[in-house]
Amino acid sequence: MTTILRSTRMKAAAAGLMMATLMIGANRVQAADYEIMAPAAPGGGYDRTSRAVEQVLKQDKLGTATVINVGGAGGAIGLAQFIRNRSGSDNAMIVGGFGMIASFATNKSKVTLADVTPIARLMSEYSVVVVPKDSPIKTLADLVAQLKKNTNGVSWAGGSAGGTDHILAGSIAKAIGVDPKQVNYVAFSGGGDSLAAIIGGQVTVGVGGFSELADQIKAGNLRVLAISSDKRVPGVDIPTLKEQGVDASLSNWRGIAAPPGITPAQRQAYLDLIAKVVASKSWKDILQTNGWNDEYLAGDDFKTYIANETTRITEILTQLGLVK
């Protein structure tokens, strides 16, 4: 009898150990060492967002992370590598956003954000329209008048062709009845080069992220004409395009995705993890420090948002003549 009881207990203990092991494997994403891919060079928006998530994971003891930078082709090289190497993984994520959708549409990329598992839109930042401090253009109305009079004579400085800045310039043109294809857009590879061209008066007008240009606006080196938000941003004394009669807006959002080929349980674990990240005080402090907007949108809603954004952005790029 004693032998039978001992055998029964051993089997129960073994079964319990096996169940615990399975549970740990299923929930590994809740407390793991993660790899977060930023599909761009260090210092850009995808890199800063990746490192912000990494920081919160560490500070809130949700896990540890290593940020991997893989630049090139507007994010397509990094995304293709992520899909190829991390499919089915329970501890890998990639940051992406508005700029990747635009780049993929322009370059007809073989991989897109539809090929991964969307987890959540995390944040966004608005763009601003600026001119040099000595520019004769004092208001958005002045800029609109010049664009209508001589569209090609107004040169715009911003980031890569077909990117966020170019799309906003084209959207403004379309909103005032000007052919977006006629926009004289001068693309720069980096924000520093674009900023130097704007401040130096080498172009008529510039477009860039608010957080990127805020210091130069405060210093008086740039005059800001409008911000691309739908409504006034609390604490930011800049009029929107819409309230000045130009029906255009742009939210340069960034989000995070998991690999393809994961199970429903793995997907839920990723969703739960990122929900904890964005609910933390650490994350809210990062948003405030960077001037980012809380744009949390998770799961299927985020997946639908990406599909709608892809359609909308592709349409704008087609109007700009960048997608045929």
Is residue 271 within a helix (H) or strand (E), and if so which, with residue range? Answer: helix 264-279
Contact between 134 and 209 under an 8 Å Cβ cutoff? The reply is no
Torsional sign, CA 35, 46, 297, 211 = positive
What is the average per-residue pLDDT within 158-170? 86
Tell me if domain 25-124+251-319 and domain 126-244 are identical in fold.
yes
Higher pLDDT, 41 or 218: 218
Q: Give the tens place of pLDDT for each residue, 28-43.
A: 444 579 999 999 888 7
Does residue 198 come out as left (phi exceeding 0), alpha (psi in the -120 to 50 range) or beta?
alpha
Q: Show me where the domains of the chain are located.
A: 25-124+251-319, 126-244
Of 79, 80, 109, 81, give the one whose Cα is nearest residue 96. 79
pLDDT surpassing 50 at residue 17: no
pTM, 2 dp? 0.76
Q: Give the tens place of pLDDT for each residue, 103-149.
A: 899 888 999 999 999 999 999 999 999 999 999 999 999 999 999 99
Class of the CATH domain delimited by 25-124+251-319: alpha beta
Q: Give the tens place of pLDDT for each residue, 250-298.
A: 989 999 999 999 999 999 999 999 999 999 999 999 999 888 999 999 9
Per-residue pLDDT at 190: 60
Residue with tokens 């964005």: 278
DSSP-derived 3-state class of residue 187: strand
Q: Give the tens place of pLDDT for each residue, 65-106.
A: 999 999 888 889 999 999 999 999 999 999 999 989 998 998
Cβ neighbours around 315 below 10 Å, total: 12
Secondary-structure percent of the chain, ordered helix, strand, coil, rounded to 5: 50, 20, 30
Mean pLDDT, rounded, of the chain: 88
What is the average per-residue pLDDT within 300-316? 94
Q: Cα separation of 174 and 183, whole Å?
A: 10
Of 19, 72, 20, give the one whose Cα is nearest residue 189. 72
CATH of domain 126-244: 3.40.190.10
Residue with tokens 């977060």: 36
- Strand-strand pairing, 251-258 and 92-97: antiparallel
Separation of first and last alpha carbons in the chain: 81
What is the average per-residue pLDDT within 223-228? 98
